[in-house]
C-alpha cells in the first residue's frame, strides 16, 4: 500500500483469504466443479423464499430492531431448547449479518489493541482476519494430527496463555479439519478460560453435522458444561443448516447483560438485518427441521463418497472427519498446496481450497467441501482419481 501510506496497519495488514485467491483463479473455468467454498449446492428452498416475499410485499422494508425482531429471537431460543435442551432467554440472542458479523462483534468486545486471541489451527481464515482488523493479535495453537485424525492438546493451548490473552476461539466441529471436541475437552478448555479470565468464543455452527455414529446426534457443546456467569459467547448462522449462505443472517448468543453494548456494536456496523430476511429465518428455523436433517444426511453421504474415492488413489492421507462437511487431506510428497490446487483446476476442473489458507499446520493439506449433490461428487472424485497420482511427487505420468 505504498501509494496510500495512511491506511491503518490493522486494516492494511489483514491477511487476504487464500480461498478467495483460488476462486478468482478458477472463476469462469468451463465445467468446473467448485468444492472450495464452505457451502452446499442447494439453493434456498421455496418455502423459505416465500416467507421473505410475503414480508416484502407486506412492506416490511423499513428500519427494524437493532438486535433482531422479537419473533426471530424467540424462535432461535426455542430451537436451541429443542437441540440442546434447557431453556434460553431470548434476551441472550442478537441477530447479525451472518456468523461472520457475530464473530466481529464478539471479538470487538473481547479484544483490542495488542490483546491476544488463541486460535487452534488449522482454522477458518476469517478468525485470524477479524482478530487482526480489531487490532488484536491472533495466536495460533497448532493442533496435532495422526492416523486417527486431529486433536487439540490442552497443554499446547495453556502454554500460549500470556497476560495479554483475552479470548480463545473454539470451533467444534471444526472447519477445515472436522475435529470435534469431546465434552471433557470442552470442560477442560472452559476451566482454563475461567482460571485466566478469558472469553470463550464458541463457533458451533457445524454442531449438528456429526458424520459418525447414529444419525441425529449432535456434537458436544459448551452448553453442556457451562454455568451462568461463564464468559462464553456463541456465534451462529442460518447458512449451513438451512441452505442460506447468501442471505447473511446469523446470530450472536451472549450474556443478556451485554445487550446495550452489543446493540451499539450492531448499530455502528450494520444497523441490523433486513426485517424481511428475518421473517424468512423464522420460517427456516420453525419449519425447516426436515431440511436441516436432509442437509446432514447429504453431508454423511458426501463424506463416504469422497473419503472412499480419494483413499482409493493410494496417494492421499485422509483420516475420516468426525464432523462438519470437509475432507482435509494430504497429497503424497506435495506440500506446495497453493500450486497443487491450481494444477487441479487446470487438469481436473475441480476447485479445492489450499491448506495454506487455514494457517499453521494445514499448509500441506487440501480442503474439499462435500455438502453437494452425490452425482457431482462422484464425478469430482473420478476426475481427481485421474490426476492425483500424477500430481503426487515422484509419480510422473
Please report how close the Cβ of residue 155 comes to a second copy at its closest, in angstroms.
24
Nearer to a second copy, 97 or 307 (CB): 97
Q: According to the binding rule CB under 8 A, does residue 108 interact with a second copy?
A: yes
Cell output for 88:
434460553
Based on CB atoms, which residue is closest to a second copy, 106 or 318?
106
163 exposure class (CB count in 10 Å sphere: 0-12, 13-18, 19+) = exposed
Residue 4 near a second copy by CB under 8 A: yes
Return d(Cα 74, Cα 127) in angstroms, integer: 28
Sign of CA dihedral 94, 97, 99, 105: negative
**Under rule CB under 8 A, which residues in 128-187 are in contact with a second copy?**
129-130, 132-133, 135, 166
Residues 187-226 that bind a second copy (CB under 8 A): 197, 199
The residue from 94, 206, 247, 328 that contacts a second copy (CB under 8 A) is: 247
Residue 87 or 113: the one with the smaller Cβ distance to a second copy is: 113
Q: What are the distances in angstroms from CA 157 to CA 95, 128, 160, 179, 359?
A: 31, 16, 6, 15, 16
Which DSSP category does 41 fall into? S
Minimum gap (Å) between residue 333 Cβ and a second copy:
32
By CB under 8 A, is residue 85 in contact with a second copy? no
- Taking CB under 8 A as the binding criterion, the range among 145-153, 183-191, 270-278, 384-392 that sits at the site for a second copy is 270-278
Least separation in angstroms between residue 211's CB and a second copy is 23
Whether the Cβ atoms of residue 64 and residue 95 lie closer than 8 Å to each other: no
Q: Write out the binding residues for a second copy, residues 22-51 only, by CB under 8 A.
A: 37, 39, 43-44, 46, 49
Q: How many residues does the chain have?
A: 397
Query: What is the C-alpha R_g of the chain?
Result: 21
Shortest separation between residue 240's beta carbon and a second copy, angstroms? 12
Region from 56-64, 295-303, 353-361, 376-384 binding a second copy, contact rule CB under 8 A: 56-64
Q: Which is nearer to a second copy, 78 or 255 (CB)?
A: 255
Residue among 74, 113, 82, 95 at smallest CA distance from 254: 95
Q: How far is the CB of 264 from a second copy (least distance, A)?
A: 4
CB of 47 to a second copy, least distance (A): 12
CA 88-119-98 angle, to 5 degrees, is 50
Identify which of residues 200 and 307 has a Cβ nearer to a second copy in the complex.
200
DSSP code per residue over 200-213: EEEE-TTTT-B-SS
Amino acid at each position: 500500500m505504498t501509494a496510500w501510506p495512511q491506511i491503518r496497519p490493522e486494516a492494511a495488514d489483514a491477511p487476504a483469504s487464500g480461498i478467495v485467491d483460488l476462486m478468482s483463479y478458477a472463476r469462469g473455468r468451463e465445467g468446473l466443479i467448485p468444492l472450495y467454498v464452505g457451502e452446499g449446492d442447494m439453493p434456498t428452498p421455496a418455502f423459505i423464499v416465500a416467507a421473505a416475499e410475503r414480508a416484502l410485499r407486506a412492506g416490511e422494508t423499513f428500519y427494524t430492531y437493532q438486535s433482531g425482531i422479537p419473533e426471530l429471537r424467540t424462535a432461535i431460543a426455542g430451537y436451541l431448547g429443542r437441540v440442546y435442551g434447557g431453556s434460553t432467554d431470548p434476551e441472550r440472542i442478537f441477530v447479525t449479518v451472518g456468523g461472520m458479523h457475530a464473530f466481529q462483534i464478539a471479538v470487538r468486545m473481547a479484544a483490542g489493541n495488542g490483546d491476544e486471541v488463541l486460535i487452534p489451527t488449522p482454522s477458518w481464515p476469517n478468525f485470524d482476519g477479524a482478530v487482526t482488523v480489531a487490532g488484536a493479535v491472533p495466536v495460533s495453537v497448532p493442533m496435532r494430527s495422526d492416523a486417527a485424525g486431529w486433536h487439540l492438546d490442552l497443554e499446547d493451548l495453556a502454554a500460549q496463555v500470556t497476560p495479554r490473552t483475552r479470548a480463545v476461539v473454539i470451533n467444534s466441529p471444526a472447519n477445515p479439519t472436522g475435529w470435534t471436541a469431546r465434552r471433557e475437552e470442552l470442560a477442560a478448555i472452559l476451566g482454563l478460560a475461567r482460571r485466566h479470565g478469558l472469553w470463550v468464543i464458541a463457533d458451533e455452527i457445524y454442531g449438528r453435522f456429526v458424520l459418525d455414529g447414529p444419525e441425529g446426534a449432535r456434537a458436544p457443546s459448551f452448553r453442556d458444561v457451562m454455568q451462568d456467569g461463564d464468559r462464553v459467547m456463541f456465534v451462529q448462522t442460518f447458512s449451513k443448516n438451512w441452505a442460506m449462505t447468501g442471505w447473511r443472517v446469523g446470530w450472536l448468543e451472549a450474556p443478556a447483560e451485554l445487550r446495550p453494548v452489543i446493540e451499539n456494536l450492531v448499530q455502528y456496523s450494520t444497523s441490523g438485518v433486513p426485517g424481511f430476511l428475518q421473517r424468512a429465518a423464522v420460517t427456516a428455523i420453525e419449519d425447516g427441521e426436515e431440511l436441516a436433517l436432509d442437509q446432514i444426511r447429504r453431508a454423511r453421504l458426501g463424506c463416504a463418497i469422497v473419503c472412499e474415492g480419494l483413499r482409493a488413489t493410494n496417494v492421499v492421507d485422509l483420516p475420516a472427519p468426525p464432523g462438519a462437511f470437509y475432507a482435509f487431506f494430504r497429497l503424497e510428497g506435495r506440500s506446495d498446496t497453493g500450486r497443487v490446487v491450481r494444477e487441479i483446476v487446470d487438469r481436473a476442473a475441480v476447485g479445492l481450497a489450499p491448506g495454506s489458507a487455514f494457517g499453521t499446520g494445514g499448509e500441506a493439506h487440501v480442503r474439499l467441501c462435500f455438502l453437494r449433490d452425490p452425482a457431482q461428487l462422484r464425478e469430482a472424485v473420478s476426475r481427481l482419481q485421474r490426476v492425483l497420482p500424477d500430481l503426487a511427487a515422484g509419480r510422473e505420468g
